[in-house]
Structure formats: C-alpha cells, structure tokens
Structure 1
Amino acid sequence: MITYVMGDIGEAKLKYILFRILGSVGREDLMELFYTAAKELIVNSTKAAIKRIIFGELKLNIQNLQDYEEGMKFFKSSLNERKFPAYKKQMRESGLFVKITCIYKKDKINLEIRNNFPLLPIEAERVKEKFINAKKYDNLFEFFMEHGDSTEGAGMGITMVEILLSQSGFDRRLLSIYSSERKKETVARVEVHLSGIPKSSETHEQLFVE
C-alpha cells in the first residue's frame, strides 16, 4: 500500500488490510498494536518527506548543518498533522511516498513503513537518541507527564510503538529502523514473532545504517 498523505480512506484501507491479515492467523487481539504502530510510523515517515519539500521551498541545503538547523526551526514551528494534506500534491510531484507492507510468514508478522530516501547523518543521530530516550518510559502516562503538550517532534512515534510492544507482551526492541544510501530507502520495521521467541539481547541494535 502506497500513500502520500494518509486520509480517512487510507486509514480505513489500512485497518481492513491489517484486520484481514491478523484475522487469518487468529490474532485479532494484536489489532491495536499493529494499527497504532502503523499510524505512528506513517506520521513519522510523512514528516520526513514533507521536511524535504519544505527545505526545497526555503532553498536550503538539507545536507548543510547550518541550513539544516535553520530549516528545522521553521519546520517545527509551522508544521503539524493538520497541515499534512496541503503537501499531498507536492509529495506526489516530487516522487516522495510512504509504502506500507504487512506480511505474515512462518509464525512471524512483519510491518514495514518505507520512505524512498535514506536518513541524513543528523537524522540517524536523532533516531538513535529517540531509541535511547524511549527506554526511560514504561507507559505513555510517564511520557506525557514529562513532555506535557510538547509531544510534536519529541520522539512520540518510537516511544509509543515501544510501549505498545512491551504492553502486548513483546520485546520493545522488535522495533527497528534501517537506512540505506545505496538502496535510497529508510525502513521502520515492527517484527512480531507469534511463537514466543526469546527476547533480544540487551545489546540488540535497533538502528542500522549502510
């Protein structure tokens, strides 16, 4: 399933696809986990695409650290999810998209949210920080108590997905992000084993960059 900016019809389609896949293996109980995780990661991926469009509009070099910091000030202050639809046409024209894949095979369900561009080095560092920061929270109440209303751009997606995994009885490190300059893609993956696979080791990497 490919989306540019997901609206109500896209969300209904996503919900239907996930329900059919989970229903086929008798795991409808995982619907909240997969649907919420997909929505959070899709928002993150959409933001990353729109960020690149905005930098182009501002004529800033996203690879330049000074330009990046200047552009991010504007990006964070001006963009919220309500403004996403305004960028749908530009995403399509720029060839930027978000691809959602959910596959069941051999007692394992893989949810993948893919951008067709790699992470910038500074973005990879931020993702690494978000993975570390997410480990501080056992539930969303703790997260909201610390961040208040300033959750926009505060690593909410990664934190929420990790907490959902943990509260569903899975290892929170089953969320990972892969970025490849060679393949020109970034993939956020939630990989859930249905047969009680042992938890990952404490040193299990969640960010892979090549």
Structure 2
Amino acid sequence: MKNVFSIDKSSHEQLIDVFLKDLNFQIECSKLTVEEEDFLNILLKKLLINIGKDNVFDYISYIYREILNNAKKGNLKRLYFIENNLTITNKDDYSKGMINFKKALISETDKFTESLPEQGFYIKTGYTIIDDILEITIENNSCLTNEEKKVINDKIQNATEFKSIEDAMITVTNNPEGAGLGLIISILILKKLNLDQNNLIIFSDDRITHSTIKIPLSVTTAENQEFIKDTILSEIEDIPQFPEHIMQIQNMLLNDNIDIKELSKVVIRDAALTGRIIKFSNSPLYLTYREVSSISDAIKTIGLSGLKSIIYSYGSEKILKERYKTEKLQGIFTHCNNVANIAFSLAKKKLHRHLLENLYIAALLHDLGKILAIAIDETFITSINKICHDKEISLSLIEKIAQGINHRTIGGLLARKWNFPDLLIDVIDNHHSPEKSHEENKDIVYFVYFANCIENHNKDYEKIYTNMNKESLDFFRINTPDDIKKIVDHL
C-alpha cells in the first residue's frame, strides 16, 4: 500500500525529500492549480535526472501534463453535471450538458475548480520503476462513460495512422474544436521515442479512471537515431561554402609567415568584417590602453587565433542571413550574443585569455543549427502556430516531432561541412549535455551551457536550478537556487 501525500497539506521541500528517498508513494491534489502542476513537473524532472533520462524530459512532460489536465477536466465535467442535475450516463443529458459545459469551462473554470475539494474530487499521481520500466500513474475519481471511452479509443487509433505531424495538424486544424489534439500529440511523441500506444494505458471502472505512462529505461530519443530527414541533409548540402574573400583569409591564416599588411588589405575589403574585428579588439577581453582604430592594430591585438575565431562566426552569420531572410534569425543572433557575454562574465576570472577567446566565439555559434531548423520548417511552423498557442503546446516540441532531429545535430552537421575546429563542433553538439563533451573542451562547454540556462530563464533561479543536470550543478558547486543567484549577482 502506497503512502499518499497531499500537496495542499505537505510542503514542497518535504515532498521532494520523501521523493528522492523512496518512490513508493502517491501525491494527491484536488484542484491541480498551475502551481501544483508545475511542482509535479519539477518532480518528474528530478526523477528523470536521477535515472539518467533527462534527455527525454520534454517528451514525457508533455504527455504527463496532458493526462493530468484530462483528469482535472473529467472531474470538472462530473461536478458540472451534478450541480446542474444532469445524469452524465443519459445520452440526452450528456449532449445537452456538453454544449454548456464547454462554455462554462472557458468562463467559469476558477469557480468550479474551487468547488472540487468540497465534492471530494481528487487526482493522485505516482512514479514506480518495475523491471526497468518507469511507470507514471495518474488517477482521478471520475469514471469514463461509454461515449468518452469510444472517443479516447478513436483518437488513439487515428493517431497511430498518422504518418507525420503534418498529417495530424491538417486533420485537427480542419476540426473547429481541435478535438483530441493533445492525445494525438502524445501518441506521436511515443512514436518518436520508438514506443507505441501500448505505452499509454487508460483504464476506467465504475469508480475511477486510471492512466499509466510506461517508459522503458532503455528508451532513446530521435536525437540518438541514425535516421536523419532527407530534407535536412539536402538543405545542408545546398548551403554554400564561405564567401571567396573569407576563404582567402582562412588560407592566408594557414601560413606561419603571414604578412599582416597583406592580410589587412584583404580584410578591409569587407567593411562589416572590418568593423567587427575592430569592435572585438576593443572588448574587455583585451586590456588595451588606447582605443584600437586601425585594422592592422586590431589584428595584432586579437592575434591570429582570435581572427580565426571571428572568421567562423562572421562567415556563418553572413551566409545564413543572406540565405534565410526571416525575422526569427535576429532573435537567435541576439540570444547567442547574450549567451556569449554571460559566458565571458562567468569565466573571465577562471580561464586563460586564449580560452576566453574560444569560449566567446563558441557561445556565439552554439545555436547555429537552430537557424537552419527554423528556416527549413518555417512555413509549416507558421501554419500551426495559432493552434499551438491556443492549445498551449510548445512549438519546440512540435519542431522535435516534425523534424526528427534536434538543432544541435543540425548545427554539428553544418559546422563539419564548414570545417570548423573540433572545439566549436563539440560546443554545438553538446551545449545541452556538457558532460558528453570531450575532456579537453569540458570547461568551455560547461560555461556555454550555464550561460545558456541563465539567458533562457531570465533570472528565474528556481527554474534554472531545476533545468540544470546534476553534472553541471556539481561542476559549478551549486546546491540551491540561491547559489545561482549569488553567481549571477556577481556578473
């Protein structure tokens, strides 16, 4: 018999403490508020980190939230029928009640939610590992009607027949209510994890509805599969090499006896590149006693290794901006600049200057693949943006399902095509999993990872702490969200 802890009556710290010691318990709530749902998601994240499966968190989290909210909706529906003297198992009452329930769900959700505890409605959830299978259970004390069972079974069956996310979206978009989208997405997510509908079991008797999500500990995500969509490979093959004058500079940099004056003559032909080099030479990275204004002085200040790094960053940005004229690109470049500045501030007292140069450029390029990922499927993403917003489905999750490859993999492929140094490729490949990076690059990859977390979550220290993996927390000696705040406050 499992112990049951109430979110309402137990502190979050107490639940986390119990959770980390023993999975043999359930958590109960009546209302499933936004805060309670977020807390349950934090527990799921911690569990997946503990068993080394945090790389599938986005996938499992979506399914978990979907089932939790369906359980709450089921309880709200029963409460509505009770308060309006309708019998949910009566066909006429059900049709009549559902018309008004949908309206009430939009306009009076808070009112009905507050009444759930008084009427004895609950949701219980638990986590168990049996025979190398993680089982996540969600139970609510509302039984399904025959009509509801049929709808659920039909949606699951329909989802198994979709060949792609595009097919599913077209079907759902043509349905004015977008009915069953969450369940369909859940089945498609399972497909991406090489699982099927048998890993999501929904059962109901005359008292409760019980749902189980079964995740084998051997599960792998699409990132780990060798299969890569032909469209992405084809697109990468079509992307040109760096412009001729950039390649000329790269070739000149291969010469140990390079003439700085001759090099400066080639660089100065590109006004934007010249400006970037001079700006970089005047950055806090180089403690110059006077402002650098000439290109030859700038090259002497940053050195040939610094110039090589700038060439990779500048060449990448130039090609991608010219090829993909989308407003979203500037947002990614801004994000990368912010990450680079944060990473530099984090590491400036800890790394040697030449490593700081590499760190800064690596941070600028860490999301190289995201540009390509967005550009390839921008038309598709735009077409589903509204329904994703209405249904509160993460666009990043849709991109994962649609593309079958993540932006880190795409960026790594492009970096290899452009013959980037191993360090830059390592950062692009592993900036979300620094523990997998090569030993000689780990310091830089960890700093990019941490800076990326800080930039993504905008000083929400609890969220930064929750989303960082154990290896990264250990690397920076972080034990609490307050430790992160202290680090950020000193930047």
TM-score, with structure 2 as normaliser: 0.37
Do residues 148 (structure 1) and 173 (structure 2) align? yes
CA distance in 1, matches of 2:184, 2:158: 8
Q: Is the 8 A contact 1:114 1:188 kept in 2?
A: yes
Q: Quick one: which of 55, 62, 65 aligns to 1:36?
A: 62
Partner AA of 1:122 in structure 2 = E
Q: Is the 8 A contact 1:178 1:188 kept in 2?
A: yes
Partner AA of 2:212 in structure 1 = R
Q: Quick one: which of 147, 154, 159 aligns to 1:122?
A: 147
1:112-162 per-residue CA deviation (whole Å, 9 max, x = no partner) reads 111113212222222222222222324443322222285757112321211
CA distance in 2, matches of 1:174, 1:147: 23
CA distance in 2, matches of 1:18, 1:151: 33
1:148-179 per-residue CA deviation (whole Å, 9 max, x = no partner) reads 28575711232121111111222233111111
Q: Is the 8 A contact 2:156 2:197 kept in 1?
A: no
Task: Mark the CA change 1:161 to 1:151 in structure 2 (over 3 Å): closer, same or farther.
Answer: farther
Task: Mark the CA change 1:16 to 1:158 in structure 2 (over 3 Å): closer, same or farther.
Answer: same
Partner AA of 2:128 in structure 1 = I
Q: Is the 8 A contact 1:5 1:84 kept in 2?
A: no
* Structure 1 equivalent of residue 437 of structure 2: none
* Structure 2 equivalent of residue 85 of structure 1: 110
Q: Quick one: which of 194, 213, 217 aligns to 1:169?
A: 194
Q: Is the 8 A contact 1:41 1:113 kept in 2?
A: yes
Q: Quick one: which of 217, 223, 226 aligns to 1:194?
A: 217
Q: Is the 8 A contact 2:140 2:208 kept in 1?
A: yes
More strand by share: 1
* Structure 2 equivalent of residue 199 of structure 1: none
Partner AA of 1:192 in structure 2 = I
SS state at 2:125 partner = strand
Q: Quick one: which of 88, 92, 96 aligns to 1:62?
A: 88
* Structure 2 equivalent of residue 7 of structure 1: 33
SS state at 1:26 partner = coil
CA distance in 1, matches of 2:55, 2:151: 32
Instruction: Supply the RMSD in Å over aligned alpha carbons.
Output: 2.2
SS state at 2:161 partner = coil
* Structure 2 equivalent of residue 159 of structure 1: 184
Task: Mark the CA change 1:17 to 1:185 in structure 2 (over 3 Å): closer, same or farther.
Answer: same
Task: Mark the CA change 1:188 to 1:76 in structure 2 (over 3 Å): closer, same or farther.
Answer: same
State the structure with more CA Rg. 2
Task: Mark the CA change 1:77 to 1:136 in structure 2 (over 3 Å): closer, same or farther.
Answer: farther
SS state at 2:116 partner = helix
SS state at 2:77 partner = helix
Q: Is the 8 A contact 1:44 1:157 kept in 2?
A: no
Gapped regions of structure 1 (runs ≥ 5): 197-210
Identity %: 24
Q: Quick one: which of 110, 127, 140 aligns to 1:102?
A: 127
Q: Which range moves more in the overlay, 66-75 or 167-176?
A: 167-176
CA distance in 2, matches of 1:74, 1:153: 18
CA distance in 2, matches of 1:153, 1:97: 27
SS state at 1:79 partner = helix
How many residue pairs align between the two structures?
193
1:58-83 per-residue CA deviation (whole Å, 9 max, x = no partner) reads 21111211111111111234424x85
Partner AA of 2:190 in structure 1 = L
More helix by share: 2
CA distance in 1, matches of 2:38, 2:72: 18
